[in-house]
């Protein structure tokens, strides 16, 4: 519905999204103030609109390595700039989108699984993340945001 409203020029309420990448890639993106999806494909980023919330989930610590992370690593808001492309190497020119990230603490997903409504099959909870990006209900975004911004001992 929101995509239809956008295509007809109507302004719709901000949406919330999960983007999936390895922790090392997410951290590089946070430093640069950008998000990239599905190995640099433009399509997912065009669905994101200014003001949309994004939470970045890392199934792995390092791209191409087996060590699991299974944490929400970063959280931010899509900026007003359009999708853009950069030449990283001669044969890799990913598309990116500006994101304003907020300071957060990484949060393991396991303690949140029972409360996340977008995970309908708790036994196979990792399945939705295989898509690389997807919209989530605002209530789930708020739950993740609260966990990532909660005060911790020693801060």
- Specify if 154 maps to a domain: no
CATH number of the domain where residue 54 is located: 3.10.590.10
Q: How far apart are CA 148 and CA 100, in angstroms?
A: 16
In a domain, 120, yes or no: yes
Q: What is the pLDDT of residue 2?
A: 42
Which positions ≥6 away from 124 have C-beta within 8 Å?
Answer: none
pLDDT per position in the chain (155 positions), as tens? 344 444 445 556 779 999 999 999 999 999 999 999 998 999 999 999 999 999 999 999 999 899 999 999 999 999 999 999 999 999 999 999 999 999 999 999 999 999 999 999 999 999 999 999 999 999 999 999 999 998 864 54
The reply to whether 8 falls in a domain is no
- Measured from the Cβ of residue 78, the count of other Cβ atoms closer than 10 Å reads 21
The answer to whether residue 4 sits within a structural domain is no
- The answer to whether residue 73 sits within a structural domain is yes
Residue 151 pLDDT: 82
How far apart CA 30 and CA 136 sit, in angstroms, is 21
In a domain, 5, yes or no: no
Instruction: Evaluate whether residue 153 is within a structural domain.
Output: no
d(CA 151, CA 153): 7
Question: In terms of pTM, does the model score above 0.95?
Answer: no
pLDDT at position 23 is 98
Instruction: List the domain range (segments joined by +) for residue 78.
Output: 15-148
- Give the torsion sign (CA, 23, 25, 27, 33): negative
Give CA angle at 36 (146, 22), nearest 5°: 70
Q: What domain count does the chain have?
A: 1
Q: Give the chain's largest Cα–Cα span.
A: 50
6 in any annotated domain:
no
């Amino acid at each position: 519905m929101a995509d239809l409203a956008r295509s007809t020029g109507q302004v719709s309420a901000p949406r919330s999204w999960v983007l999936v990448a390895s922790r090392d890639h997410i951290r590089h993106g946070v430093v640069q103030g950008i998000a990239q999806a599905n190995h640099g494909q433009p399509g997912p980023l065009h669905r994101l609109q200014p003001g949309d919330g994004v939470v970045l989930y890392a199934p792995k610590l390092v791209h191409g390595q087996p060590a699991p992370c299974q944490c929400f690593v970063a959280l931010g808001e899509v900026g007003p700039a359009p999708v853009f492309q950069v030449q990283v190497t001669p044969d890799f020119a990913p598309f990116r989108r500006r994101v304003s990230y907020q300071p957060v603490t990484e949060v393991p997903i396991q303690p949140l699984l029972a409360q996340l409504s977008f995970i309908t099959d708790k036994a196979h909870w990792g399945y939705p993340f295989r898509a690389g990006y997807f919209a989530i209900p605002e209530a789930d975004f708020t739950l993740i945001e609260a966990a990532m911004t909660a005060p911790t001992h020693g801060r």
